[in-house]
Structure 1
Amino acid sequence: MSRLRSLPATVRWGVPPAALLTCAGLLGWSWSLPADVTPPTPRAAEAGFCEALDKALPGAVLGHDRDDPSPASPYTAAWGSSPRTVLRCGLPRPGYLDDNPLAAAPEVNDVQWGMTQDPDGGYRFVTTLRKTYVEVTVPKGAYPNYADPLSSLTDAIKATVPEGL
């Protein structure tokens, strides 16, 4: 206590606000960290396609570096930090494909995608007519056009996930 009193008054009065600001900054930083992504559990026949896709995926998508989610898995990949684009491979058929799946579905570099808008204003895309489903979640505001990252991923998908049902 005597050490604290020996400090100038401006320092003594500045310590509590500085500590408070530091705590607030740390809390804000921890809230901005991306949430973990639960990896899908593909069937054995699909797992090989997903593992090959994971190795073929680009290290960056439109200037966003690859930063895979936790826990590490060959069935998930991500680019960017916050917000980030997330790819999941080997998931079951998404229900949104049942609601007029090709009405607004883009075809990008010969890969057909089903799509839906998520409640946060982003989009979910899933490959159609492939041996396993590959889903890409693009958060609102991550790119000028919500479908932009698909073109960076299609070559890897075409090379590793064959066409067919």
Structure 2
Amino acid sequence: MTSCRRRSAGPAVLALLIAAAGCSSAGGGATVAVPRPDTTTAKLCRNLDEALPRKVAGLGRDDPEPRSALTAGWGGSVIILRCGVTRPPRMTDPAVAEGADRDAVAGGVNGVDWLMEKQDDGSYRFTTANRRAYVEVSLARQRVQDGSAVLVDLAPAVKKAIPTGIAD
């Protein structure tokens, strides 16, 4: 069984990291790949879909295509959630766990642990850690400054639907 080793980062530290990333425009459609988790994980993801808020960081829910209980979106392609994704390689990379990789940082927001990864295009990807299913949230670089609000808004649903533990 593998787990994500993490440093404890308070919301203020995580907000500072996100704000330091800057802000610029991003384009793109609202089409995403639907994950293909096992039956148990898919059930957790359906529970999450039912618990997700109508608004995140002030943006209304606008699910991507193809429609699925395993994906959700807010503001078109600005915030995209995919549930049941595979474990990110950086969660098991010892260099990341020791902080050698500056493009990946682990921390917690309102009781949910996340791995934050800066993408080549300036966007960010957050993946839950220490939960029975991996939930990935992509945030377009035009809204990077909203990263803390996004994670705060999603935390209650994640805590309600995805139990703590280690995903397979």
Bin for the TM-score computed over the shorter chain:
0.7 to 0.9
- TM-superposed CA distance for 1:98, in Å, is 2.8
Equivalent pairs counted in the alignment come to 133
- Share of identical aligned residues, percent? 40
TM-score, with normalisation over the residues of structure 2? 0.74
- TM-superposed CA distance for 1:146, in Å, is 3.0
Q: Distance in 2 between matches of 1:105 and 1:92?
A: 17
Q: Distance in 2 between matches of 1:145 and 1:157?
A: 18
Q: Paired residue for 2:86?
A: 92
Q: Distance in 2 between matches of 1:147 and 1:162?
A: 22
Q: Deviations over 1:1-53 (max 9, x none)?
A: xxxxxxxxxxxxxxxxxxxxxxxxxxxxxxx5624101101111101100000
Decide which of 41, 48, 63 is 1:46's aligned counterpart: 41
Q: Paired residue for 1:34?
A: 29
Q: Deviations over 1:133-154 (max 9, x none)?
A: 0000111121424333011001
Q: Paired residue for 1:152?
A: 153
Greater helix percent: which structure?
1
101-110 vs 129-138, greater mean Cα deviation? 101-110
- TM-superposed CA distance for 1:95, in Å, is 1.4
One-letter identity of the residue aligned with 2:136? E
2:131 aligned counterpart, secondary structure: coil
Q: Paired residue for 1:137?
A: 138
Decide which of 54, 61, 68 is 1:66's aligned counterpart: 61
Query: Which fold has the larger relative contact order, with Cα–Cα distance below 8 Å and residues 6 or more apart in sequence?
Result: 2
Is the CA contact (8 Å cut-off) linking 2:115 and 2:128 kept in structure 1? yes
Q: Closer, same or farther in 2 for the Cα pair 1:102/1:48, shift >3 Å?
A: farther
One-letter identity of the residue aligned with 2:88? P
Q: Paired residue for 1:106?
A: 107
Q: Distance in 1 between matches of 2:68 and 2:29?
A: 16
Is the CA contact (8 Å cut-off) linking 1:69 and 1:76 kept in structure 2? yes
1:55 aligned counterpart, secondary structure: helix
Q: Deviations over 1:55-76 (max 9, x none)?
A: 1000111211110000100000
Q: Distance in 1 between matches of 2:34 and 2:89?
A: 18
- CA radius of gyration, larger in: 1
Q: Distance in 2 between matches of 1:101 and 1:149?
A: 24
1:144 aligned counterpart, secondary structure: helix
Q: Distance in 2 between matches of 1:96 and 1:117?
A: 12
